[in-house]
Amino acid sequence: MREAVAVLPDNGSTTATVDETRTEEHQLDISVVMPCLNEEDSIAICVQKAKEWLERSGYRGEVLVVDNGSTDRSRELALAAGARVIEEPRRGYGRAYLTGIPQAQGKYIIMGDCDDTYDFTNLEPLIAPLRDGYDLVVGNRYAGGIRPGAMTWSHRYIGTPVITFLLRTFTGARLGDSQCGLRAFTREAYQRLGLHSTGMEFASEMILKAMRRRLRVAEVPIPYFPRVGEAKLNTFRDGWRHLRFLMLFTPAYVFTVPGLILSLLGAIAMATALLVSRGNADAWPHWPAVFVGPMLLVVGINALLLGLAAHLVASSKGITGEGRVSRLYRRQFSLEAFLGAAGALILAGVGL
């Protein structure tokens, strides 16, 4: 088991979304929450495995299935297997969890897909770190063993490693598999996270916010098996949703810092060109700097503007809190101010 310890500052506020009215006497030990969309071939197997593990382990628990608009017999089979079923007709991986997790009655909550890719017969490795004081435990399929045919090559060698690398870079979390869907966390941790994402990016949001809220995050090896039934993942759509979320959630890394660097380099190049041209119009680096400097400056300024736009969009959608930048923008800037600044820049360019 490994702990992720690096932290980023948090400018947002949390929203408690789990029902806090339940008393300790009536609270269950564990809730296993499974989103379900047309999984009639595997849902009963997964529910039975989870219930058997709960009984064998001696925990007071429940299996909660969130039916995400299934058109097959998934709901009926889940009920027959002993699960509590909640309806969420609006499609979305994250939306199913946002509806189901607040209804969970356990002190510890385990989330996992009901396509039989995860081993619900042994969930103790996920619970043990929580009892030791961790807030969130994430499975690592690479460390636990990915069985032949369980994951496409594009997800195994490109998609998941790239997203994991970006999350490690942006948060410092020492995770080897940021996209594993088998996770466990405490009710209190979920209340602090304040999650909003309705799609597959829900998994990335959980990691990012856990680090920003200074939660203790652990990683444990888990096996990963070939799924039963038809896969629901869309490589390009879901991959883009992850990248889009990361760009909105971390504009400083994606836009602002690169924009500042490029703008500075462009300004230095242009200043160098002006100084050199006074003494010798043909001297290097006058001509290269004349072309390179403005390009770097334009790209840098556009990156800074994109960073501001990403921050404002993320703030308006509730992905991040309203920080100092967005508050300053709303108080001080208007359409007229931007038009005036644009006019001044045009005049300055003509003058140069």
pLDDT tens digit sequence for 296-348: 888 888 877 777 777 777 666 665 666 666 666 666 666 566 677 778 878 87
- Six-digit token string for 172: 């410092």
Place of tokens 């007709």: 89
- Six-digit token string for 125: 């490795």
- Long-range pairs, 161-169, Cβ under 8 A, ≥24: 163/204, 163/239, 163/242, 163/243, 163/246, 166/246, 167/204, 167/207, 167/208, 167/246, 169/253
- Six-digit token string for 344: 């001044």
Q: What is the CA radius of gyration of the chain?
A: 25
Asked whether 78 and 67 are in contact (CB, 8 A), the reply is yes
Asked whether 219 and 137 are in contact (CB, 8 A), the reply is yes
Domain 2-249 class?
Answer: alpha beta
How many CB atoms are located within 10 Å of the residue 105 CB? 20
What pLDDT, on a 0 to 100 scale, did the predictor assign at position 76?
97
Q: With 0-12 CB in 10 A as exposed, 13-18 as middle and 19+ as buried, what is 28?
A: middle
Asked whether 50 and 128 are in contact (CB, 8 A), the reply is no
- pLDDT tens sequence across 243-269: 777 777 777 777 778 888 888 888 888
| Residue 17's pLDDT band (cuts 50, 70, 90) | very low
Mean pLDDT of 218-237: 87
Round the average pLDDT of the chain to a whole number and report it. Answer: 83
- Return the ∠ at Cα 137 (arms to 104 and 323), rounded to 5°: 85
Asked whether 245 and 320 are in contact (CB, 8 A), the reply is no
Whole-model pTM: value is: 0.74
C-alpha span between 215 and 286 (Å, rounded): 52
Report CA 169 to chain centroid distance, whole Å: 13
- pLDDT tens sequence across 173-204: 889 999 999 999 999 999 999 998 898 889 99
C-alpha span between 37 and 48 (Å, rounded): 18
- Name the nearest CA neighbour of 125 among 110, 115, 142, 104: 110
Q: Where are the domains of the chain?
A: 2-249, 251-351
Answer yes or no: is pLDDT of 99 > 70: yes
What pLDDT, on a 0 to 100 scale, did the predictor assign at position 344?
82
Kind of pairing, strands 28-36 and 106-111? parallel
| Residue 10's pLDDT band (cuts 50, 70, 90) | very low
Asked whether 95 and 68 are in contact (CB, 8 A), the reply is yes
